[in-house]
Amino acid sequence: MAEIIDGKALAAQVRSGVRERALCFEQNNGRKVGLAVVRVGDDPASDIYVRNKIKACEECDIRSVAVVLNGDATQTDVIAVVEKLNADNDIDGILVQLPLPKHIDERAVLAAISPKKDADGFHAVNAGKLFLGEDGGVVACTPRGIMELIKSTGVDICGKHAVVIGRSNIVGKPIAALLLAADATVTVCHSKTENLAQITRTADILVAAVGKKHLVTADMVKRGAVVIDVGMNRDDSGLHGDVDFDNVKEVASYITPVPGGVGPMTVAMLLMNTVDGACGE
C-alpha cells in the first residue's frame, strides 16, 4: 500500500520558510513583500481562490492587494491595472486570476505583466527560460510544487520514466520540462494519445493533470510508481482527483491525495515566487 504524500504538511513547511524570509525582507527594506491579485468579474470559484491566496499571504507576512474589476471591464482596463502594478515599487508579485471573461484575451493580459513580477510564472519569458534551461525565471506554481512533492519521497528522479497526462501551458508542459531538467525520461500524453494505459503502465512517476474524475485506474499504474494527482474535479459529492485514489494507492509506492496534495503546494509556491521576486532571486 502506498505512502500518502502529505501536501498540506509540506506546504506548511514551505510557508514557514517563506514567512521567515518575508520578515527578514521587511526588516531590511522597511516594507512588507507585496502581492497584487487582480480579479475580473464575479466568478464564485475565482472569488474563493483569491480569498484563499490573500489569507495565505497574511499568514506569511506578505501584504496582499486585491484589485477587483467589474465583469464588463475591457482588456485595455485590465492591462492598465497591470501596468500600474508593474510600476508600483511596493508590489513584488502580480497575479491575474484566471479565467478572465471571454471578451478579454488572457495571453495579452499575461504578456503585460512584468516577467520579474510574474508570480504565477505564466509569462512567455518565464516559460521560455524554463524550456531553455536558463536560471532566473519564475517557475509556474503548480509544477514547482509537484517537483517538491516528488522530491519529498526521496525517490531519485534521474533516469526514471515520467509520464505526464495533460499538455496544458500551466501544468502539463512545464512539469514535463522540469522532470526533463531533473534527468527523467519524459513522455507527455494528451487527449489524442493512443493506448494511454499501455504508456502509463510503464511510468515510474505518473503525473495526472487532465481534469477528468478518476481517469487513472489501478490497472493503468505500474506497481511501485509515484503518482501525483493534479486534478480538481468538483461534483455534488465533493472534490475529486484524476486518479482513482482508493484503488491506485494499493499499487503505487507514493501517492498524493485530493484534496491535500498538489493544491496546498500550489498556493505555497505562489508565496515562494513572490518572496523570490522581492529578494531578486
Binding site for ligand NAP (CB under 6 A): 142, 165-168, 170-172, 189-193, 196, 209-212, 215, 230-233, 262-263, 266
- Residue 49 CA to residue 267 CA, distance in Å, equals 9
Which residue shows C-alpha cell 491579485?
A: 37
Give whichever of 135 and 194 is closer to ligand NAP, judged by the CB atom.
194
Q: Is 8 a catalytic residue?
A: no
For strands 233-235 and 238-240, give the pairing.
Answer: antiparallel
Question: How far, in Å, CA of 126 to CA of 275, rounded?
Answer: 16
Closer residue to ligand NAP in complex, CB, 113/232: 232
Q: How far is the CB of 88 from ligand NAP (least distance, A)?
A: 27
Residue 6: exposure state from Cβ atoms within 10 A (0-12, 13-18, ≥19): middle
In this structure, the strands spanning 93-96 and 34-40 are: parallel
Asked about 198 being catalytic, the answer comes back as no
Q: To the nearest whole angstrom, how small is the minimum distance from the Cβ of residue 22 to ligand NAP?
A: 22
Catalytic residue among 61, 92, 118, 120: 120
Which residue's CB is nearer to ligand NAP, number 185 or number 193? 193
Evaluate whether 3 touches 253 at the Cβ level (below 8 Å): yes
**Cβ-based nearer residue to ligand NAP, 38 or 209:** 209
Q: Which of the residues 61, 92, 97, 242 is marked catalytic?
A: 97
53 is catalytic: yes
Known catalytic residues are 53, 97, 120
